[in-house]
Structure 1
């Protein structure tokens, strides 16, 4: 006869983790590459966060599901009672309608007319603010970071694209029903085979991380950036900000030239804003700036002073963004809270 199995005692259930009953806000950074949800207390301290890859090519439906999942995971990671949620502020890449809470068009994701406010209000039953991601980052810097105490602040963030935000006397500069300050879409004379309008290139075509990566990939193919080619095989998706910065630090002529030209064009674009709005401070952020802060801070200032009206450029204070990877999340939540006062 088979031996009787010894009876085992059922494992004692672990007591459920006690959730903190505190008021909190969600700041959400919907980026072209990644998305991040952050749980923030009343002092904007990060209690917990969750990240996911955006993968815009997977489609808007999967994107919506990821947004909700990231928020739920951030709340769980923070260990707070979900009933304490006070609101969600979300910064999005591209054009938004803040009044209706719609992401109109995110060019680097391919998403259009995404009703984010309706989606999030239905799920989380709280106030929702939807704004452009660079507007959010700039507002965060104005309230809590590099622009604190300024009358007006221009935020410039070269990343996958090139974005800008402008805060004047505590208010974000926006259109009546649409976000504004699309710095990356300033048109320059010129052309390339991908130009949607023949005879023109955009500032983004010349200054974004994607533009630099494209040029670096071509230089790899031509044998001009051997170390970068060895590490990335010239693959566009692999040529990130850190890899580009390392190519610049290597001193290879091709990298030095493309960065010098890129920042010169960026200076032209920023000088245009200076001539129109005369900010008293300019703050720089984004992956490329974080990797090469000295280059961007010093060279951009030099180029702006070269191209802007001298009397308007004189006395502008330049700084690096202080909030880092949390700038958009903090700024979106701060804008929500200021709008609901």
Structure 2
């Protein structure tokens, strides 16, 4: 069974703050706490300084440490990602660098909190009010140094967030991917199966976007221009990742063939691509022989039927333009989806 696909997990990653922004955020919070303490703390100068400066240190450590921990908590683990999104992640970023960056943030979060405890105790042991201030400034210097050290890691996660947050979410419903060479009738078929103009969703593995439509009977149809429309040897690494990603998305495939060859591709080329898809995708494939309303479509039928017989595959003869046998195709899809 296909693994459940959740909403885009990268949208949960919070806005990434850089070192100066983090220091400002912590400073403002610490000053607010200190302002309240100045109003309420009674006692001699040293006692008040210890209380106020210690709270500044601990507040700063808490604000920065908790922020970094929150980034880690809301950033999806590469190893635990749904395979569909993991393939997209590997298209867009260096996943090893991404993992290292999350590890660096984890270290920084824990170390800054540890520094807060160390310097908080030092302030409690200070012998003069001036010394409490000196210790706090030393603490801030250490924290600033840690944040500068992880600047490249913050930048790595920030860049990944911007690239990944707007990837469209695919619905977690039964999904049929429509494949075949350009101009065989895939887009028209998508419209006829969904009775609506499809959405065009931008994904990193195709400049043309994925065309997505939804049927009245709860099935998601995906047309894949620029992805499942040419042989493996013509694909670059990004497109190969795309094929793998779609493998995790598809519950079934409709492969559209143009027997007239008016699409610009020979029947042999179309059958070779079908052969590649059949080997790559371990899901049911429905072969739709389109354009049977066009004169002369029969000339290549025997060649197609012999190939399908050898593969033990069935086919439906359809016309997307004349709506011939589209009801039969819909029933076939429903049968497959019901198992």
Give TM-score, length-normalised by structure 2.
0.23
Q: TM-score, normalised by structure 1?
A: 0.23
The structure having more radius of gyration, on CA atoms, is 2
Which structure dedicates a bigger proportion of its chain to strand?
1
Greater helix proportion? 2
